[in-house]
Amino acid sequence: MPDILISNEGPVRKIRMNRPEKKNALTLAMYEAMAASIEDAGQSDGVKCLIIAGAPDVFCAGNDLKDFVTMAGSGELAAPIVRFLHALARCGKPLVAAVSGAAVGVGTTMLLHCDQVIASDNAVLLTPFVSLGLVPEGGSSLIAPRLMGHARAFSLLVMGKPLSAEQARDAGIVNAVVPAAELDARALVTANEIAALPTESVVEARRLMRGSVEEIVARIDEEVEAFKTRLASPEAQKALAAFLTKKR
């Protein structure tokens, strides 16, 4: 079965991460598949809203760290990752996320691009970038402080403090917290509610609310350059090696 499942249910496109045996850690191929689906949805008149979802017990464990180790050796951040981040930022269609279990690293930062985030009561958001010798990505260094204030964003992005579903709701990242068994249904209802609204008005209102897409893309690119520098640093290589050894 593919690691990314893509389906259309009427006007709603579902993009589901489907690598549960690895806690939905994202490979480069998964980034490519998600980016392509988001880009395609932007060109499809039939798609009015997108849902990004994970497995019942885990949303996304972040990037596959083995890829990070490989990239650390090359000094580059792989193109599929950057393509996905740009696709999120440039997506003109509304995005809904259905989050259950752990949302780690990019599993959290991708939520900042979503218009509605529905979380199960067992969801936990965590961004351990700095503890791995890295920096936040996905435009999160720009969006998170605006959304939740500098102090709470610093706790999340720099100190790596986790947020429960309720705390994430209080911080403005999550819209609703529901029992895990109701998550997918609630996300689909929400997406259909959005899809039923006048399409052009939704797109234009969303554009106005989000502000400059180019500013977000520019911050993503700035973060990418800092991320590449950090990946090649002795500090990051030591932290990544220690983490992988611990996992074994």
Tell me the pLDDT tens digit for each residue of 76-85.
778 999 999 9
Mean pLDDT for the stretch of residues 115-126: 98
Q: Are 216 and 89 in contact (CB under 8 A)?
A: yes
Tokens 């464990």: give the residue: 61
For 206, which DSSP code? H
Q: What span, in angstroms and rounded, lies between the C-alpha atoms of 158 and 198?
A: 40
* CATH fold label, 4-180: 2-enoyl-CoA Hydratase; Chain A, domain 1 (3.90.226)
- For residue 240, the model assigns a pLDDT of 80
Q: What percent of the chain has pLDDT over 90?
A: 86
Mean pLDDT for the stretch of residues 16-20: 97
What region, left, alpha or beta, does residue 27 occupy, with left being phi > 0 and alpha being psi -120 to 50 degrees?
beta
Task: Kindly report, residue by residue over 157-194, the tens digit of the pLDDT.
Answer: 999 999 999 999 999 999 999 999 999 999 999 999 99
- For residue 165, the model assigns a pLDDT of 98
Residue boundaries of the structural domains of the chain: 4-180
Q: Is the pLDDT of residue 72 over 70?
A: no
Q: How far is CA 54 from the centre of its chain?
A: 11
φ/ψ of residue 53, rounded to 5: -135, 165
Instruction: Tell me the pairing of strands 124-126 and 163-164.
Output: antiparallel
More confident residue, 230 or 68: 230
Tokens 């351990």: give the residue: 128
Mean pLDDT for the stretch of residues 24-40: 97
pTM of the model: 0.95
| Mean pLDDT for all residues in the chain | 94
Lowest mean pLDDT among 37-46, 87-96, 228-237, 239-248: 239-248
Alpha carbon distances (Å) from 169 to 42, 70, 84, 202: 28, 36, 25, 23
Lowest mean pLDDT among 112-121, 204-213, 239-248: 239-248
Q: Is the pLDDT of residue 241 over 90?
A: no
Q: Is the pLDDT of residue 231 over 90?
A: no
At residue 208, the 3 state secondary structure works out as: helix
φ/ψ of residue 69, rounded to 5: -65, -40
For 101, which DSSP code? S
Q: How far is CA 157 from the centre of its chain?
A: 14
Q: Is the pLDDT of residue 243 over 80?
A: no
- For residue 238, the model assigns a pLDDT of 87
For 26, which DSSP code? B
Q: Is the pLDDT of residue 104 over 70?
A: yes
pLDDT tier for residue 248 given thresholds of 50, 70 and 90 = low
Q: Is the pLDDT of residue 66 over 90?
A: no
